[in-house]
A and B are shown apart, each in its own frame.
Chain A
Amino acid sequence: MGTHSHQTHNFSAQFDFSGKPKTWSLIAMVIGVIAVLYGFLLDPSEFHGERTFANLLLMGYYFTCVCAAGAFFLAIQYVAQAGWSAGLLRIPQAFSKVLPIASVILVLICAAGLFFHHNVIEDGKQVEVPFLYKHWATHGLADPQSEHYDPIIAAKSAFLNIPFFLGRLVIFLAIYSILAAMLVKFSENEDLNGGLSNYKKSFTYSTIFLVLFGFTTPVWAFDVVMSLEAHWFSTMFGWYNFAAMWVSGLCAMTVIIILMKRAGYLTWINQNHLHDLGKLIFAFSIFWTYVWFAQFLLIWYANMSEETVYFYKRWEPEFKPWFWLNIVINFVAPVLLLMSRDSKRKESSLLFVAILLLLGHWLDYYIMIMPGTVGAEGRGFGITEIGIAIGFVGLFTFLVLNALSKTSLVPKNHPFLDESLHHQI
């Protein structure tokens, strides 16, 4: 069983979470808190409260999606009986460990956004609206007696109402978190006890995870993002969000793996593994574009007003450059930069593209979220946006690295570990 390779790697080494990574992630979190405080209290603009909430939602959702993508990656590897990835499974497992925390944060953001209200002037009248989901959660929209009555929203109110909305969100995220935690637990038990029983259990529970995840993620995206513009609908939206989640999850994994390697860990992860990660990033960036384009083309082509309104808003001058930049970063960049074999195998180029795509998918979510919240008048890119994003990056880094420092960096009894160590393409 290729024992020669075991001597060159230290499988029991644990990640030491201290020094610069710890300091910087804590600083980033402080920046995030300051940005939130700035957004709520100091920002002079008219939309400051809503804008802060919109950014919190953006990053809370992004954060949860990346962690969920880690759990999804883990489950896929077990179900597909993948060998190549056995040596890097601790990274998506760390994402899975952070998923419950991310979920709680996302639920709190959504709940707070629905709970806290502010007054806005709409058609000359003062209306009290929640900070998030005002298009369906404003009081009276579903009430025929109310002056705010909206028959289209009323027809959806069996689905879009606060208890059911929050209930769904909690249940979905709880399911993902619990199953992801089980997968992590099996892998850690495998380290202690060896044998195949944990592997077999991982297979079974991964299948359950994938089925539940596959059937519920579209609804998750419809809820958290699509319902911000509650009149609008697109059947593709769920898979579009899935594609963004999957690409950004792969990129986050790649960034952490490369930086860990540079810090002297994960010596058993070599160019071949990076090449595979690069191929996945490349392929799914194209898949993301495919889904983006199909949704865009069909709506543009049919030109039905209830659908085109979505892109109409994104083609207003405030958003249009960002709208196209989204395609440049998330499609053109990976296609051109990751096409060649060498660029996928070189740490520096892969790291660059992965970070670029993580920024790109922030922009992707920005384009999805901002027009339905602050709108063109309130759109901004400043302290609130940058600060909150930095804060969440710090939080994610801190929690993931902390999770990584708790166990050894390799599932040493994984039955396909030997295949992974000798992976060559």
Chain B
Amino acid sequence: MSAHHESILREPLITGDNITYAKITNDVLDPVENKPNKAWWIGFTIAAIGALIWVVAVSYTFWTGIGAWGLNKTVGWAWDITGFVWWVGIGHAGTLISAILLLFRQNWRNSINRSAEAMTIFAVICAATYVVSHMGRPWLAYFCLPLPNQFGSLWVNFNSPLIWDVFAISTYFSVSLVFWYTGLLPDIASIRDRATGLRRRIYSILSFGWNGSVKTWQRFESVSLILAGVSTPLVLSVHTIVSMDFATSLEPGWHTTIFPPYFVAGAIFSGFAMVQTLLLVVRKVMGFENYITMFHIESMNKIILVTGSIVGVAYLTEFFIAWYSGSEYEQYTFLNRFIGPYWWAGCMMYGCNVLMTQLMWFKKIRTSIPASWALSIVVNIGMWFERFVIIVISLHRDYIPSSWAMFYPTVVDAAVFIGSIGVFFTLFLLFLRVLPAIAMAEVKLLLKGASHQAKKKLIAENKVDPEQVQYYKQSLVKFDSVPEAETV
């Protein structure tokens, strides 16, 4: 939409007075160009300890084999695949924000896409570590690539969804990385232009010679659009194929046709929750209140509500069809989620993902920062339990009661999981130090049309309908970054 005709009803995407292009650069680059503060160091230390735990736990697994985990004959897949799917799911929000919201011309994506994409990349890295570590003999990881027969006659089984996964996730990772990096180019060039010495040389190389000419911008725009078009089906494909790891089997609770879109919706749901978890903190600690506004927070909460409800429809459909199918194995699987020994996990899954997110219907909760943050954590937990429930509860009691068993995680299981969270935060905190957490160049595009100061100017010029102005001002009440005097 052309900024000139943007309705006054639309809430501002940038708040604050006297925001200039220069001020945006200064604000966003502040953490990159200055020494880290105490909060960062505390966070980094904790995260790095977590990463260290991960290194120890994974090394131990490599050394002793996956017998170090709590797996058994019946439950041969548990926390490893739960963690893998959880991380891949989280890795969906970034590309959704950068690609799908770009295609839908949702300008509010501009101030959250950068960190969401970075988060995506780190989450996919965490997921990949599970793939490698659960191989048992990770030095043979190349076996899942279609290599020539000189490597032996063991050819890749292209009928296996696990192989599809290798291709889907590596493609997704590559495209996400390219998308993220292309978006970074103008911002890296800004850092370069302000830097001196070695720092300037490094950012100069990283900026690929970006010179800000009209031509570079044109190419930038068209490559973004093409990458958005390419990544949109990729976002869907990744979790679709992850879901097929389960749904192609004969396992009750796994084999159901709704799995692909249901997993994709769940992935977006959990991804947005993680973006919310991170950005609410980043916004506060780094002072980005004017760029990541209450409108952004509320919009993300709305997406969490919508995707949570889509997941809810899928849950209900599964329950209904399990009954409708008349298959006693299907029926027992779903009943077992509530009456079996893992009933508490089932309650966590349905309670956190469906019931708790319904709280987002209340505007007071959607626009409260502490409540949003708490709910985002609830969703993160709920989505972990969803995977645990689907994987472990389905496996532990399936067709033959004589092979029923329980799964108990070992310390190593727990350490790998907690450690992966450490790895994720370590990478994210390092990212905040070296690259701008907000896409400055893209946010600047919004300054003239979609900022609060531009709207105030329009109101001052008396060019807009007074009733709409009133509506606009009322919508600002929830904004913590707009002074109360301007909201009535």
A residues neighboring B (CB under 8 Å): 1-2, 81, 83-84, 151-152, 155-156, 159, 195-196, 211, 214-215, 218-219, 222, 233-239, 279, 283, 286, 290-291, 294-295, 297-299, 301-302, 304, 306, 415-416, 418-419, 421-425
Q: Which of A236, A304, A306 contacts B258 (CB 8 A)?
A: A236
Binds A, one of B6-14, B178-186, B366-374: B6-14
Contact indicator A302/B249 (Cβ below 8 Å): yes
Contact indicator B326/A196 (Cβ below 8 Å): no
Q: Which residues of A are found within 8 Å of B40, using beta-carbon distances?
A: none
User: Nearest 6 A-B pairs (CB), nearest first?
Assistant: A235-B258, A236-B257, A294-B260, A422-B5, A301-B248, A295-B257
Q: A236-B260, A294-B261 are in contact. List 8 more A-B contacts (CB 8 A).
A: A156-B324, A291-B260, A294-B260, A298-B244, A306-B327, A419-B7, A422-B5, A424-B1
**Assembly CA distance A29 to B63 (angstroms):** 77
CB distance from A23 to the nearest CB of B (A): 41
B250 an interface residue at 8 Å Cβ cutoff?
A: yes
Q: Which residues of B are found within 8 Å of A301, using beta-carbon distances?
A: 248
B471 an interface residue at 8 Å Cβ cutoff?
A: yes
Contact indicator B326/A155 (Cβ below 8 Å): yes
Q: Which of A156, A233, A418 contacts B7 (CB 8 A)?
A: A418
Contact with A along B213-255 (1 / 0, CB 8 A): 0000000000000000000110010001000100111100001
B488 an interface residue at 8 Å Cβ cutoff?
A: no
B156 an interface residue at 8 Å Cβ cutoff?
A: no
CB distance from A224 to the nearest CB of B (A): 15
Q: Which of A286, A415, A425 has the most CB of B within 10 A?
A: A415
Contact with A along B262-275 (1 / 0, CB 8 A): 00000000000000
Q: Which residues of A are found within 8 Å of B486, using beta-carbon distances?
A: none
Contact indicator A302/B255 (Cβ below 8 Å): yes
Contact indicator A159/B324 (Cβ below 8 Å): yes
Contact indicator A235/B463 (Cβ below 8 Å): no
B residues neighboring A (CB under 8 Å): 1-2, 4-7, 9-10, 103, 105, 232-233, 236, 240, 244, 247-250, 255-261, 309-310, 313-314, 316-318, 320-321, 324-327, 463-465, 467-468, 471
**Assembly CA distance A9 to B244 (angstroms):** 53
Contact indicator B7/A238 (Cβ below 8 Å): no
User: Main secondary structure on chain A at its contact with chain B?
Assistant: helix
CB distance from B466 to the nearest CB of A (A): 11
Known: A196-B467, A298-B255, A416-B9. A290 touches B236 (CB 8 A): yes
Known: A236-B258, A298-B257. A419 touches B6 (CB 8 A): yes
Q: Which residues of B are found within 8 Å of A290, using beta-carbon distances?
A: 236, 240, 260-261
Q: Which of B10, B232, B325, B464 contacts A81 (CB 8 A)?
A: B10
Q: Which of A215, A233, A419 contacts B1 (CB 8 A)?
A: A419
Q: Tell me the nearest residue of chain A to B8, going by C-beta.
A: A415
Q: Tell me the nearest residue of chain B to A304, going by C-beta.
A: B250
Known: A298-B247, A304-B250. A152 touches B326 (CB 8 A): yes
Contact indicator B250/A302 (Cβ below 8 Å): yes
Contact indicator A1/B463 (Cβ below 8 Å): yes
**Assembly CA distance A364 to B325 (angstroms):** 24
Contact indicator B5/A418 (Cβ below 8 Å): yes
**Assembly CA distance A26 to B250 (angstroms):** 53
Q: Which residues of A are found within 8 Å of B325, using beta-carbon distances?
A: 233, 306
Q: Which residues of A are found within 8 Å of B6, using beta-carbon distances?
A: 83, 419
Contact indicator A298/B316 (Cβ below 8 Å): no
16 example contacts (A-B, Cβ-Cβ < 8 A) are as follows: A84-B1, A195-B467, A196-B9, A196-B471, A214-B313, A233-B324, A234-B257, A234-B258, A239-B258, A283-B232, A286-B233, A298-B256, A298-B259, A302-B248, A419-B6, A422-B2
Q: Tell me the nearest residue of chain B to A84, going by C-beta.
A: B1
CB distance from B245 to the nearest CB of A (A): 12
CB distance from A192 to the nearest CB of B (A): 16
**Assembly CA distance A419 to B310 (angstroms):** 30
**Assembly CA distance A211 to B313 (angstroms):** 10
**Assembly CA distance A214 to B309 (angstroms):** 9
**Assembly CA distance A303 to B422 (angstroms):** 42
CB distance from B468 to the nearest CB of A (A): 6
Q: Which of A156, A211, A238 contacts B317 (CB 8 A)?
A: A238
Q: Tell me the nearest residue of chain A to B318, going by C-beta.
A: A235
Contact indicator A235/B326 (Cβ below 8 Å): no
Q: Which of B105, B250, B317 contacts A235 (CB 8 A)?
A: B317
CB distance from A165 to the nearest CB of B (A): 13
CB distance from A310 to the nearest CB of B (A): 10
CB distance from A231 to the nearest CB of B (A): 8
Q: Which residues of A are found within 8 Å of B4, using beta-carbon distances?
A: 2, 422
Contact indicator B468/A196 (Cβ below 8 Å): yes
Q: Tell me the nearest residue of chain A to B325, going by C-beta.
A: A233
Contact indicator A415/B9 (Cβ below 8 Å): yes
CB distance from A173 to the nearest CB of B (A): 19
Q: Which residues of A are found within 8 Å of B317, using beta-carbon distances?
A: 218, 235, 238
Q: Which of A211, A233, A238, A424 has the most CB of B within 10 A?
A: A233
